[in-house]
Amino acid sequence: MQYETEHFDSITALYAHLLPTMDKKGLYGNSSVKPPRWGWDLNTDLDQTMDMARKGGYWPEGAAELQSVDISEAAQTMAHGILPVIVNDVVGGTIDVSEYLQGGPECFLRVEDEPGHIRPIVRIGVCVIASADVKAHVMMNRGRAILALVDALELQGYSVELTAMFVALHNGLTYFCNTVLKQAGAHWDPSSVAFGLAHPAFARRLGFRALEFNATAQHISAAAMAAGA
């Protein structure tokens, strides 16, 4: 098995990498420019997806949808029994989505750290490519569960790095396009994390675009087109 990996430290870094390809056509497959439809990409074409990526994954509707389940409450439930008191503050390790969307200044959740304590880093990679028949609401529910886990780990004293992984494989070659959604030590932004984990166009537009213009792995895109991706 051979591996080809591209790594981007942010959604905007992925955008900058893909920008020079926008006036070009892939040699093998062109899933990234298929006509949009609701069930596949929420009617979001490549140009629209790139504009969202240019803004760091700006998707306020996704952030609002994440709020429909209280991730903060789920995270605290996961971490129950080993935590000190958790309070809202103007700074903190995780974000309180409800307060964030209401514009409140104390939109972070904070736990007192011991002086001089170094938080161990946990790196989580999430595969964001899904079968063509997987609907957006299913991806959103999965995103909620992942964010609850991230918050629970943060509240337990870990520093979490969260990476979205687009993965494709064919004939012994596996391609990875990894994009960091949350750096270790930073809070997660509800809009951009929702975009990376739950918006189907992130993988089906940007992931495929990266694959289609990777010199080593671009031939895999032809197999993806044949499979109906």
Instruction: Tell me the per-residue pLDDT of 177-201, one tens digit each, with 9 for 90 and over.
Output: 999 999 998 877 888 888 998 898 9
Answer whether residue 228 shows pLDDT above 70.
no
Query: In 3D, which of 224, 105, 127, 210 has the Cα closest to residue 169?
Result: 224
The span from the CA of 146 to the CA of 217, in Å, is: 29
- Binned at pLDDT 50, 70 and 90, residue 147 comes out as confident
- Kindly state the helix (H) or strand (E) to which residue 91 belongs, with its residue range: none
The span from the CA of 126 to the CA of 115, in Å, is: 32
- Binned at pLDDT 50, 70 and 90, residue 214 comes out as very high
Specify the pLDDT at position 157: 81
The span from the CA of 221 to the CA of 148, in Å, is: 33
DSSP 59: -
The span from the CA of 136 to the CA of 200, in Å, is: 6
Q: What is the mean pLDDT of residues 195-213?
A: 93
- Binned at pLDDT 50, 70 and 90, residue 15 comes out as very high
> How many other C-beta atoms lie within 10 A of the C-beta of residue 77?
12
Specify the pLDDT at position 225: 46
Answer whether residue 73 shows pLDDT above 70.
no
- Binned at pLDDT 50, 70 and 90, residue 111 comes out as low
DSSP 23: T
Specify the pLDDT at position 2: 94
% of the chain surpassing 70 pLDDT: 80
Average pLDDT, the chain: 82
pLDDT, one tens digit per residue, over 34-69 is 999 887 888 999 999 999 999 999 998 887 776 655
- Kindly state the helix (H) or strand (E) to which residue 177 belongs, with its residue range: strand 173-182
Pick the residue with more confidence: 108 or 121?
Answer: 121
Specify the pLDDT at position 5: 97
62 neighbors 49 (Cβ within 8 angstroms): no
DSSP 131: -
Q: Which residue has the tokens 């918050």?
A: 151
The amino acid present at 87, given as its one-letter code, is V
